[in-house]
Structure 1
Amino acid sequence: MAKKGDLGKGDEVSWKSHGQNVSGKIKKKITARSRAAGRTVDASREEPQYEVESDKTGRSAVHKPGALRKKGEAS
Protein backbone atom coordinates (compact mmCIF):
# COMPACT_ATOMS: atom_id res chain seq x y z
CA MET A 1 0.00 0.00 0.00
CA ALA A 2 1.16 3.47 -0.81
CA LYS A 3 2.23 6.02 1.76
CA LYS A 4 0.98 9.60 1.70
CA GLY A 5 4.10 11.09 0.08
CA ASP A 6 4.63 8.31 -2.45
CA LEU A 7 1.87 9.25 -4.91
CA GLY A 8 1.50 12.04 -7.45
CA LYS A 9 -0.48 13.14 -10.48
CA GLY A 10 -0.05 10.77 -13.41
CA ASP A 11 1.18 7.82 -11.32
CA GLU A 12 -0.16 4.46 -12.46
CA VAL A 13 -1.90 2.70 -9.58
CA SER A 14 -4.25 -0.17 -8.84
CA TRP A 15 -6.96 -0.66 -6.22
CA LYS A 16 -9.64 -3.13 -5.23
CA SER A 17 -13.22 -2.47 -6.31
CA HIS A 18 -16.01 -4.95 -5.72
CA GLY A 19 -13.50 -7.78 -5.25
CA GLN A 20 -11.54 -7.07 -8.44
CA ASN A 21 -8.30 -5.24 -9.12
CA VAL A 22 -8.76 -2.03 -11.08
CA SER A 23 -5.93 -0.08 -12.67
CA GLY A 24 -5.74 3.58 -13.58
CA LYS A 25 -3.94 6.87 -13.07
CA ILE A 26 -4.01 9.52 -10.41
CA LYS A 27 -5.78 12.64 -11.67
CA LYS A 28 -5.16 14.82 -8.62
CA LYS A 29 -4.30 14.94 -4.93
CA ILE A 30 -7.11 16.33 -2.77
CA THR A 31 -6.01 18.19 0.37
CA ALA A 32 -9.21 19.99 1.42
CA ARG A 33 -12.87 19.15 1.85
CA SER A 34 -14.33 19.32 -1.65
CA ARG A 35 -16.46 17.51 -4.22
CA ALA A 36 -14.83 14.96 -6.50
CA ALA A 37 -16.06 11.90 -8.41
CA GLY A 38 -19.65 12.82 -7.57
CA ARG A 39 -19.29 12.94 -3.79
CA THR A 40 -17.99 15.08 -0.94
CA VAL A 41 -14.44 14.18 0.00
CA ASP A 42 -13.40 14.91 3.57
CA ALA A 43 -9.67 15.31 2.91
CA SER A 44 -7.03 17.55 4.50
CA ARG A 45 -3.32 18.27 4.14
CA GLU A 46 -2.65 15.78 6.94
CA GLU A 47 -5.02 13.14 5.46
CA PRO A 48 -5.04 13.62 1.67
CA GLN A 49 -7.07 11.54 -0.75
CA TYR A 50 -6.54 10.90 -4.45
CA GLU A 51 -8.89 11.13 -7.40
CA VAL A 52 -8.13 8.29 -9.80
CA GLU A 53 -9.43 7.41 -13.25
CA SER A 54 -9.99 3.80 -14.28
CA ASP A 55 -8.11 2.68 -17.41
CA LYS A 56 -10.95 0.35 -18.36
CA THR A 57 -14.04 2.53 -17.83
CA GLY A 58 -12.66 6.08 -17.64
CA ARG A 59 -14.74 6.65 -14.50
CA SER A 60 -13.38 8.59 -11.55
CA ALA A 61 -13.16 7.48 -7.94
CA VAL A 62 -11.54 8.82 -4.78
CA HIS A 63 -9.34 6.74 -2.48
CA LYS A 64 -7.14 7.16 0.56
CA PRO A 65 -3.42 6.45 0.00
CA GLY A 66 -3.62 3.13 1.83
CA ALA A 67 -6.09 1.76 -0.71
CA LEU A 68 -3.82 2.49 -3.68
CA ARG A 69 -0.88 0.44 -4.90
CA LYS A 70 1.67 1.90 -7.31
CA LYS A 71 2.21 -0.21 -10.41
CA GLY A 72 5.23 -2.43 -9.98
CA GLU A 73 5.06 -2.53 -6.18
CA ALA A 74 4.95 -5.95 -4.51
CA SER A 75 1.58 -6.98 -3.07
Structure 2
Amino acid sequence: MAISKGDKVHWNTSQGKTTGKAVEKKTKEFTLDGQTFKASEDEPFWVVESEKSGTKAAHKESSLDQA
Protein backbone atom coordinates (compact mmCIF):
# COMPACT_ATOMS: atom_id res chain seq x y z
CA MET A 1 0.00 0.00 0.00
CA ALA A 2 1.45 3.33 -1.00
CA ILE A 3 0.01 6.39 0.69
CA SER A 4 0.62 9.76 -0.91
CA LYS A 5 0.24 13.27 0.42
CA GLY A 6 -3.41 14.33 0.20
CA ASP A 7 -4.78 10.77 0.18
CA LYS A 8 -7.91 10.09 2.21
CA VAL A 9 -7.10 7.59 4.97
CA HIS A 10 -8.74 5.80 7.93
CA TRP A 11 -7.24 4.97 11.31
CA ASN A 12 -8.56 3.53 14.56
CA THR A 13 -9.00 5.59 17.71
CA SER A 14 -10.55 4.82 21.09
CA GLN A 15 -13.75 6.41 19.73
CA GLY A 16 -13.75 4.20 16.62
CA LYS A 17 -12.58 4.63 13.06
CA THR A 18 -11.58 8.15 12.03
CA THR A 19 -11.23 9.50 8.50
CA GLY A 20 -8.91 12.24 7.36
CA LYS A 21 -6.14 13.06 4.95
CA ALA A 22 -2.44 12.31 4.82
CA VAL A 23 -0.57 15.60 5.28
CA GLU A 24 3.14 14.76 5.57
CA LYS A 25 5.29 11.61 5.59
CA LYS A 26 8.04 11.50 8.23
CA THR A 27 11.06 9.19 8.04
CA LYS A 28 13.16 10.71 10.83
CA GLU A 29 12.47 11.32 14.51
CA PHE A 30 10.12 14.29 14.98
CA THR A 31 7.95 16.01 17.58
CA LEU A 32 4.26 16.83 17.19
CA ASP A 33 2.29 18.54 19.96
CA GLY A 34 5.09 17.85 22.45
CA GLN A 35 5.24 14.11 21.71
CA THR A 36 8.31 12.56 20.07
CA PHE A 37 7.89 9.92 17.36
CA LYS A 38 10.71 7.65 16.22
CA ALA A 39 10.00 7.42 12.50
CA SER A 40 12.44 5.76 10.10
CA GLU A 41 12.71 4.77 6.43
CA ASP A 42 11.64 1.24 7.46
CA GLU A 43 8.80 2.43 9.67
CA PRO A 44 7.54 5.82 8.43
CA PHE A 45 4.88 7.86 10.18
CA TRP A 46 2.29 10.11 8.58
CA VAL A 47 0.95 13.34 10.00
CA VAL A 48 -2.78 13.09 9.35
CA GLU A 49 -5.57 15.63 9.69
CA SER A 50 -8.96 14.52 10.99
CA GLU A 51 -11.84 15.21 8.61
CA LYS A 52 -14.19 15.81 11.55
CA SER A 53 -12.12 17.96 13.94
CA GLY A 54 -9.24 19.26 11.80
CA THR A 55 -6.84 18.04 14.50
CA LYS A 56 -3.45 16.75 13.38
CA ALA A 57 -1.95 13.54 14.73
CA ALA A 58 0.86 11.15 13.82
CA HIS A 59 0.33 7.48 12.99
CA LYS A 60 2.57 4.69 11.71
CA GLU A 61 2.01 4.15 8.01
CA SER A 62 1.21 0.49 8.81
CA SER A 63 -1.77 1.60 10.96
CA LEU A 64 -3.42 3.59 8.15
CA ASP A 65 -5.83 2.30 5.51
CA GLN A 66 -6.62 4.15 2.32
CA ALA A 67 -10.24 5.26 2.12
Q: Structure 2 length normalisation: TM-score?
A: 0.90
Counterpart Cα distance in 2 of 1:69 and 1:15: 7
Percent of aligned positions that are identical: 36
* 1:19 positional shift: 4.2
- Structure 2 stretches of 5 or more lacking a match? none
Q: Structure 1 length normalisation: TM-score?
A: 0.81
Deviations 1:6-42 (A, max 9, x none): 1111010011110411000001000100112441110
Structure 1 match to 2:11: 15
Q: Any idea what SS the aligned residue of 2:40 has?
A: coil
Structure 1 match to 2:26: 30
- Runs of 4+ aligned structure 1 residues displaced above 4 Å come to none
Counterpart Cα distance in 1 of 2:33 and 2:46: 10
What is the aligned residue count? 67
Counterpart Cα distance in 2 of 1:55 and 1:30: 20
- Structure 1 stretches of 5 or more lacking a match? none
